Amino acid sequence: MSIFNYTGAAKERVAYLEALGVSKFEPRGFYIVAEPVLKLRKLEDIPDIKNITHTDPAVLDLVMEGYTAYLPMIEFRRFVCGAAAGATFVDPSSKENVRTMLMLLTEALLDEFTQRGENPVYPALASWLREPVEESFSAVIEHMEPSVWHQALAYVNGFFWVLTHTLPPNKKGKAALVKAQAFMKRVTDYGILPE
């Protein structure tokens, strides 16, 4: 049973294709986040939405080093790609922290998988990001082909996971979130993940 408030069209598609296990891509929950641990880049330095990508030379190494073949069942590579795209919002001085966080998350998910023998679930996200996360999940399900849902939802998770630890719930954070939402809308409207 989903904890997400999907739009009507998305609910119909989820109900019709429940066998695809969309709910396992929903974060564990949403929590009130403390002061973000990553420093937000100056708003004027955040790339234009058409230039945000995980293949940006400034963040590509996060993808190359952060991917592990041990977690294909939750599309972890796409999660890492989304996290790298989210890292374009992070001040370069905090980039090493993104790498460390990805490494620690990978270890935690591997422990969960090996100890319980079950597919791990995605980590919780900041409560103030719940609405844009649900909008993005709904848009994926409404506009993208079911064959890529898992990859796209993993990408969304990774993207917002980095923003959870980057965007403060203040005026500057909300201004950056507008750009993040515009980027995610562009991704879902095109119906394909950026390469």
Four-CA torsion 52, 53, 58, 64, nearest 10 degrees: 160
Residue 195 carries which side chain, given as an amino acid letter? Answer: E
Give the pair of three-digit tokens for residue 123: 């980590």
Are 50 and 191 in contact by the 8 Å Cβ rule? The answer is: no
Question: What local confidence, expressed as pLDDT, does residue 107 receive?
Answer: 79
Question: What local confidence, expressed as pLDDT, does residue 165 receive?
Answer: 94
Question: What local confidence, expressed as pLDDT, does residue 91 receive?
Answer: 94
Query: From first to last of its 195 residues, what are the pLDDT tens digits of the chain?
Result: 577 888 988 988 888 777 778 888 889 889 877 778 889 999 999 889 888 887 777 777 777 666 555 555 568 888 989 999 999 999 999 988 998 888 888 877 777 777 776 677 788 999 999 999 999 999 999 999 888 898 999 999 999 999 999 999 899 999 999 999 999 999 998 877 776
Residue 160: name the closest of 126, 110, 195, 120 by CA.
Answer: 126
CA distance 174 to 176: 5
Q: Which residue has the tokens 């993208």?
A: 144
Close Cβ partners of 37 (under 8 Å, ≥ 6 residues apart): 97, 101, 165
Sign of CA dihedral 18, 24, 25, 27: positive
